[in-house]
Amino acid sequence: MTSLEISKLMPLIVVLLTPMVVMLYIAVKRNHFITMLLSVLGLLIALALIPATRLVPVTRIGSLLIIDNYALFYFSLIFLAAIFILVPSYSYLEKRFGGNKEEYYLLILTATLGSAILAASSHFATFFLGLEILSVSLYALIAYLRQTNEGIEAAVKYLILAAASSAFLVFGMALVYSQTGTMSFSGVTDFLSKAADYNLILVAGIAMMVVGFGFKMALVPFHMWSPDVYQGAPAPVSAFIASVSKGGILALLFRFFAQYDIVQSKPLFIIFGGLAVLSMFGGNLLALMQKNVKRLLAYSSIAHFGYILTAFIAGNHNARFTGAGAATFYIVTYFITIIGAFIIVGVLSSKEREAFARSDYKGMYWRHPWLSVAFSAMLFSLAGIPLTAGFIGKYYVLSTGIGNGLWWLVVIMIINSALGVYYYLRVIVEMFSSADEEKTDLQASVRVGLMTGIALALLTIALVWLGVYPTGVISAIKTSMLMF
Amino acid sequence: MTLTFLFAWLLFGGLVAWLSGKWSKNAPRWISIFVLTVHLVVTIRLWISYLAHNGFGLKTGQWFLTEKAAWIPQWGISYFLAIDGLSILLLVLTSFLGLLAVACSWKGIQTKVGFFHFNLLWILAGISGVFMALDLFLFYFFWEIMLIPLYFLIGIWGHSNRIYATLKFFIFTQASGLFMLISILGLFFIHGHNTGHYTFNYLELIGTSVSPKIAFWLMLGFFLGFGVKLPVVPVHTWLPDAHTEAPTAGSVVLAGLVLKAGAYGFIRFLMPLFPQAGKEFATVAMVLGIIGIIYAAIVAFAQTDLKRLVAYTSVSHMGFVLLGIFAWNQLALQGAMMIIISHALSTGALFILVGDLYDRLHTRDMDKLGGLWDVVPRFGGFGMVFAMASLGLPGLANFVGEILVLMGVFQVNVVIASLATLGFIAATIYSLWMIQRTFFGKNKNNYTVPDATPREIGILGALVVTLVWLGLFPNTVLKTSKNAFHHLQEIVNRSAYKQTEQLQIGPEGLQPQSNKSQSVSGSNYGDMK
């Protein structure tokens, strides 16, 4: 390995070293605050290295990893998201957990590493490696609050289903390998586009891989785990699963199919189109019934990945509106909103329980105006209302769909947006209605710490900024998508 | 900078009013009054300078004031504001009604005063933006921005069934807006595909050649977006609910401005962008207008809730506006403009009156009301004037608008014009019925409440003066909008002609007919002047 390659790998190496340093520090002395600080510092260093790394003139690291601008863009996104999840986790853990808090940060860091590897992988081996680093860390993270039954239940559920889906994925990879003779992504897609017709084994292999993808991104009909896990896991971990974990897979999916035209390939178009439609309708219709805010966010996240799939299917033909660009922009806005929303859920939680019921938010505006304004902004963004980033994201996806002639998907997306508005607004209505003075005990004890407050303020500002003036981020994404 | 100021000043003022709510209850009120007074002064200044000089000399494609800057250049989106006579009138209306909305909620709103005025000012900002934006994306942006504060306004300060009403209102308007967005995007891509230049600029998108079949669907998306706002009858059901539950200021803004944004959209965007499809659809739209006029009038007559009655009369009046717009000749358009303004004033006045009565009596049920003339004679007098305005009594502004629309429609379709006159009769019946049941008859519950205060007399008096002024001297308004309508008609005729020529399949009958109606309307207009 040359020194150039090593310097290109620096962000990953730093993220790998950080948990080791943290581990050593824990061995010497347990201090919750310093552990958090060290983890955030490690991620910040990795983030600061990214601009310098862009200049290093190699992209392929062996045949396993590819660190181009696209991967680096996702690195920055993943690291930033992890920082914004770690900082509020501090006060969350202080409030809700009596045991050892320090290992939580280790696990988040390794999971972040796994997700980053996914974004940079170009080979089945690294794909699987990244995925397992991510998943194994998540098993422990979901059950981190050991005193809660829901946590344990959610972790077991996730463990069994994730293991099963990994098995599908690996078996699918093996079948594909047996036919194509290669495990690198570009080799596989080359084979797919050249092959005149696919034999059964290849189709079965791809189908099994799609099941794996579908499970990790919680697409209908592979979504059963997600509401339970979101509900049972600690709020910051739910945020992590909804953002970093899904984002890594998505980055990989885009890289895998970068050169491949989904619309032209009938079977894949039907598979992904079907998944998108099912996810949009499934997520939104199920969310309509929810009174539990965490489950609601889980279902809405399913629907949002349906929207993202629409952009994915549209592909990259229309140079002005590339599917990958639209989806990446959407992911950025979605990260901001979903992390912000879960931070607020965490802030409202008490020692005994999390603020999951919609009635917990009743009249919140009159007690915590800033917190409710931030939460409303997040929910408006998820609903795709102008002035928020979510609107620009949705607009980008819509225009990509129309630009590539996917009218029926676009109309379905519009119908679903209208459905979505309904349940997001219900939560907002609850916040702005008059409070019953005695009933809501959760809100009385809320204290927004300084760091959490800053994180929330930054997210809200970013949300409005992207909603009003997205030019900078759009061009940043465009330059990162040059590989397509 | 003036145009940016017109909406940014309201956004800024809204924030200040919100924050000042912490210190005192009166601070947001006075701040809003100040902000809106400045807004009114600026818009009237624009109007005067339009009337005083260069306004009339503008040629087609020229604007009284424009502002343009890049916004999201990657997507061909620019920050493009411009005004002509039409926009100026609506902007003046916006600040005037805004001022009255603040004044009429002076006593009625006692909780969360700061946030209330924030919402009110942001609605007005969004509406001001809608009346100025000439970039379709920017237009959509403003179009949606006004929804959220309006949603809060009804959802927080509304009456008992407000949650249902707000959700219904929001989903109707949001979903219809998204269909309009699809149409905007469709047009954007077709234009980009044809010319290689991707832009949302309204002036460049005019005259895009779209095949008739696609043009119809795109036009339908716009029709849905504007039609739900206006509202056109099958999709009007959100309006009575929203009005009934809204606080007085919300109703004033809703009836006076939000509905007008729909009418403005038809005039400014739907017809110029899809001249051929719009004209082919005109008969359907006018039939919908007729159905709206008559159906809503009948339903209004059946109401026992005073506010709901007024809400249905809104739907009925908006039917006239729809007729006027789709008749698309100078007379009818001028009439529609006149109704837009007069209806905003008279219905706003009725809502304020109903709100004042409700504050005193705590009921709007006409079965319980009656004989109030003896108790509150001042309100009775005002109510009578506004009811007369609403039924179209000559001498008041509404009459001018409705008669112009009828004359304009008559040139296009005699049957529809004759049916529309039924609307006059129906309006007379429900207006008098409303006055009869509220102010005359027997005071069954022996209400004794104080009569109008000086503040209330001031608000209602200002509205009466404006209604009479516009009823007697409508030319001030007509002069201002004439040029704008003329340009819009020219644009439509020219691009309709161009499309017919290019596609070789346009119906031949339309062209001479529209030319004829235009020349006729021109001469009639000259007589009036």
Complex-level ipTM: 0.85
% of chain B at pLDDT higher than 90: 41
Put simply, whether A319 touches B (Cβ < 8 Å) is no
- Among the ranges given (A265-269, A348-352, A475-479), the one the predictor scored with the smallest mean pLDDT: A265-269
Q: Do A386 and B141 touch (CB under 8 A)?
A: yes
Put simply, whether A313 touches B (Cβ < 8 Å) is no
Q: Do A414 and B182 touch (CB under 8 A)?
A: yes
**Mean of pLDDT values over B211-239:** 90
Cα separations in angstroms, A100 against A30, A82, A83, A235, A451: 8, 20, 20, 18, 21
- Among the ranges given (A255-264, B128-137, B218-227, B391-400), the one the predictor scored with the smallest mean pLDDT: A255-264
* pLDDT class of B525 with cuts at 50, 70, 90: very low
Best of A423, A471, A474, A479 to disrupt the B interface (most B CBs within 10 Å) is A471
Put simply, whether B217 touches A (Cβ < 8 Å) is no
Q: With a cut of 50, say whether residue B504 has pLDDT above it.
A: no
Q: Which chain B residue is nearest to residue A421, measuring alpha carbons?
A: B171
pLDDT at A437: 58
A428 close to A421: Cβ distance less than 8 angstroms: no
* pLDDT class of B497 with cuts at 50, 70, 90: low
pLDDT in tens, B58-97: 776 678 888 888 888 888 899 999 988 889 999 999 999 9
**Nearest CB neighbour to B182, from listed A402, A433, A474:** A402
pLDDT at A482: 57
CA distance B495 to chain A (A): 25
- Among the ranges given (A233-242, B331-340, B489-498), the one the predictor scored with the smallest mean pLDDT: B489-498
Q: What are phi and psi of B212, to 5 degrees?
A: -55, -35
- B74 interaction partners in chain A (CB closer than 8 Å): 320, 471, 474-475, 478
Q: Do A387 and B151 touch (CB under 8 A)?
A: no
* pLDDT class of B276 with cuts at 50, 70, 90: confident
The SS3 of residue A416 is helix
**Mean of pLDDT values over B395-406:** 90
pLDDT in tens, A323-369: 888 899 999 999 999 999 999 999 888 887 787 888 888 888 888 88
Q: With CA atoms as reference, report the closest residue to B135 among B209, B63, B79.
A: B79
Cα separations in angstroms, B417 against B407, B423, B478: 8, 10, 21
Q: Which two tokens stand for residue A146?
A: 């050991």
What DSSP string runs through A176-218? HHHHHS--BHHHHHHHHHH-SS--HHHHHHHHHHHHHHHHHTT
pLDDT at A60: 87
Cα separations in angstroms, B429 against A103, A316, B294: 77, 62, 12
Q: Do A414 and B166 touch (CB under 8 A)?
A: no
CA distance A417 to chain B (A): 8
Residue with token string 């079949």: B213
pLDDT at B505: 41
Q: Do B178 and A417 touch (CB under 8 A)?
A: yes
CA distance B167 to chain A (A): 7
Report A:372-391 residues touching B (Cβ under 8 A).
Answer: 380, 385-387, 391
- Among the ranges given (A194-198, A270-274, A305-309, B135-139), the one the predictor scored with the smallest mean pLDDT: A194-198
- B174 interaction partners in chain A (CB closer than 8 Å): 385, 417-418, 421
- Domain segments of chain B as ranges: 274-529
Q: With a cut of 90, say whether residue B440 has pLDDT above it.
A: no
Q: Which two tokens stand for residue A73?
A: 């863009």
CA distance B178 to chain A (A): 6
Report B:470-499 residues touching A (Cβ under 8 A).
Answer: none
% of chain A at pLDDT higher than 70: 96
CA distance B15 to chain A (A): 13
Q: With a cut of 80, say whether residue A391 has pLDDT above it.
A: yes
Higher model confidence: residue A187 or residue A84? A84
- A463 interaction partners in chain B (CB closer than 8 Å): none
pLDDT in tens, B4-61: 998 899 999 999 999 998 888 889 999 999 999 999 999 999 999 888 876 677 776 6
Q: Which chain B residue is nearest to residue A432, measuring alpha carbons?
A: B156
- Rounded to 5, what percent of chain A is helix, strand, coil? 75, 0, 20
A353: Cβ–Cβ under 8 A, 6 or more apart, which residues? none
pLDDT in tens, A401-455: 888 888 889 889 988 988 888 889 888 888 887 766 555 566 777 778 888 999 9
Put simply, whether B160 touches A (Cβ < 8 Å) is no
B289 close to B231: Cβ distance less than 8 angstroms: no
Q: Which two tokens stand for residue A363?
A: 């009249």
Q: Average per-residue pLDDT in chain B? A: 86
pLDDT at B524: 41
Residue A313 C-beta-side C-alpha neighbours within 13 Å: 29
Residues B472 and B465: their CA atoms lie apart, in Å, by 11
H/E/C letters for each residue in B185-223?
HHHHHHHHHHHCCCCCEHHHHCCCCCCHHHHHHHHHHHH
pLDDT at B506: 40
Q: Which chain A residue is nearest to residue B157, measuring alpha carbons?
A: A433
Best of A367, A379, A395 to disrupt the B interface (most B CBs within 10 Å) is A395
Q: Which two tokens stand for residue A293?
A: 């805010």
pLDDT at B122: 93
Put simply, whether A477 touches B (Cβ < 8 Å) is no
% of chain A at pLDDT higher than 90: 50
pTM: 0.88
Residue A118 C-beta-side C-alpha neighbours within 13 Å: 27
- A414 interaction partners in chain B (CB closer than 8 Å): 175, 178-179, 181-182
- Among the ranges given (A135-139, A142-146, A282-286, A355-359), the one the predictor scored with the smallest mean pLDDT: A355-359
- A435 interaction partners in chain B (CB closer than 8 Å): none
A14 membership: H or E segment, kind and range: helix A10-28
- A410 interaction partners in chain B (CB closer than 8 Å): 182
Please state at what angle helix B397-412 crosses helix B510-528, rounded to 10 degrees.
Answer: 150
Q: Do B155 and A432 touch (CB under 8 A)?
A: yes
Put simply, whether A233 touches B (Cβ < 8 Å) is no
Put simply, whether A133 touches B (Cβ < 8 Å) is no
Best of A321, A394, A425, A479 to disrupt the B interface (most B CBs within 10 Å) is A425
Higher model confidence: residue A1 or residue A209? A209
Put simply, whether A274 touches B (Cβ < 8 Å) is no
pLDDT at B123: 93
Q: Do B178 and A411 touch (CB under 8 A)?
A: no
pLDDT at A431: 86
Q: With a cut of 90, say whether residue A459 has pLDDT above it.
A: yes
Q: With a cut of 70, say whether residue B120 has pLDDT above it.
A: yes
Best of A362, A378, A414, A431 to disrupt the B interface (most B CBs within 10 Å) is A414
Q: Do B155 and A429 touch (CB under 8 A)?
A: yes
CA distance A87 to chain B (A): 29
Q: With a cut of 70, say whether residue A483 has pLDDT above it.
A: no
Cα separations in angstroms, A398 against A311, A479, B48, B202: 8, 21, 43, 20
pLDDT at B84: 87
Q: With CA atoms as reference, report the closest residue to B421 among B299, B525, B297.
A: B297
pLDDT in tens, B134-151: 999 999 999 988 888 998
Number of Cβ within a 10 Å radius of residue A63: 15
Higher model confidence: residue B185 or residue A445? B185
Q: Which chain A residue is nearest to residue B169, measuring alpha carbons?
A: A422
Put simply, whether B198 touches A (Cβ < 8 Å) is yes
* Helices vs. strands in chain B: H and E counts, helices first: 23, 2
* pLDDT class of B437 with cuts at 50, 70, 90: confident
**Mean of pLDDT values over A75-84:** 95
A116 close to A248: Cβ distance less than 8 angstroms: yes
- Among the ranges given (A160-174, B352-366, B482-496), the one the predictor scored with the smallest mean pLDDT: B482-496
Put simply, whether B141 touches A (Cβ < 8 Å) is yes
Nearest-5° Cα angle at B279, B204 to B525: 90
pLDDT at A441: 66
Q: Do B175 and A391 touch (CB under 8 A)?
A: no
pLDDT in tens, A162-217: 999 999 999 999 999 998 888 988 888 888 878 767 788 888 888 899 898 899 88
Q: With a cut of 50, say whether residue B519 has pLDDT above it.
A: no
* pLDDT class of B119 with cuts at 50, 70, 90: very high
pLDDT at B512: 40
Residues B440 and B434: their CA atoms lie apart, in Å, by 10
Report A:346-375 residues touching B (Cβ under 8 A).
Answer: 366
